């Protein structure tokens, strides 16, 4: 089972904040607050960023769009870095993973 990251280095926290600019187009709430980002690893020395993300359902029709948006925004912000986005299904996403900010945004 994949571990959902709860502690972040300063560099990982910066990436996390950048990923808040990536919305799930179906609900227009960012993927971080929806609980779709499971892990962020930044290797500043090797200039690599790796993100484990999931989708609300395996058949999500906008999954490719979300992954492409993650890659595009990170490559634009970190042009010298190798960016890898992993689509993972374990653990399976459920609504309890939505942050308080995400719940507020969904109810607006």
Q: Is position 41 within any domain?
A: yes
The CA-atom distances, in angstroms, between 50 and each of 11, 22, 37, 74, 106 are 12, 16, 11, 10, 28
Q: Is position 107 within any domain?
A: no
Q: Is position 104 within any domain?
A: no
* CA–CA separation, 104 and 90 (whole Å): 26
Number of domains in the chain: 1
Q: What are 22-39's pLDDT values in tens digits?
A: 999 989 999 999 999 999
Q: Tell me, what's the pLDDT at 108?
A: 81
Q: Tell me, what's the pLDDT at 40?
A: 98
Q: Is position 2 within any domain?
A: no
Q: Is position 1 within any domain?
A: no
Cβ atoms 53, 66 nearer than 8 A: yes
Mean pLDDT of 44-57: 96
At 33, which CATH number? 3.30.300.130
- Domain extent at residue 51: 10-97
pTM given for the model: 0.93
């Amino acid at each position: 089972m994949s571990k959902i990251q709860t502690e972040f280095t300063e560099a990982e926290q910066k990436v996390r904040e950048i990923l808040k600019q990536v919305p799930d187009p179906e609900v227009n709430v960012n993927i971080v607050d929806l609980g779709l980002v499971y892990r962020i690893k930044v290797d500043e020395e090797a200039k690599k960023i790796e993100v484990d993300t999931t989708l609300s359902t395996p058949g999500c029709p906008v999954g490719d769009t979300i992954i492409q948006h993650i890659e595009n925004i990170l490559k634009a912000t970190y042009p010298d870095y190798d960016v890898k986005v992993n689509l993972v299904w374990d653990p399976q996403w459920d609504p309890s993973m939505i942050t308080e900010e995400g719940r507020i945004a969904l109810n607006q």
